[in-house]
Amino acid sequence: MEINILEEKKNRMVFEVKGERHGFCNALKKVLWSVKGVTVSGYNVEHPLTASPKVILETEGKAPRAALTDAVKLMGKEADTFLKAFDKQVK
């Protein structure tokens, strides 16, 4: 995965996520919506075969980088919870 920041302002960030597709971007978008201060969370893939997703993040009262950091930490916690539940089913 490679991240390229295309635009960064006080309350807005647009970045490209190379090497990922809809699965990761949908999860990130959903978790971003749960972070306090996020007012816009979405992504776009201009062409399904050649383009990388571009994530758009806008905030109010919180820096976009801080919101993104919070979202990624939350995604990690959710992944750990899922792994524990899965391990219980396998045993």
Give this prediction's pTM. 0.87
| Res 71: pLDDT | 97
> Domain residues of the chain, as ranges?
2-90
Task: For domain 2-90, give the CATH number.
Answer: 3.30.1360.10
| Res 49: pLDDT | 81
CA distance 55 to 32: 11
| Res 70: pLDDT | 97
Q: Read off the amino acid at residue 66.
A: A
Contact between residue 79 and residue 66 where contact means Cβ atoms under 8 Å apart: no
Interval 65-81: pLDDT, tens? 999 999 999 999 999 99
H-type alpha helices, 1-91:
22-33, 64-90
Interval 4-49: pLDDT, tens? 999 999 999 999 999 999 999 999 999 999 999 999 999 999 987 8
Q: Extract long-range pairs of 82-86: CB within 8 Å, 24+ residues apart.
A: none
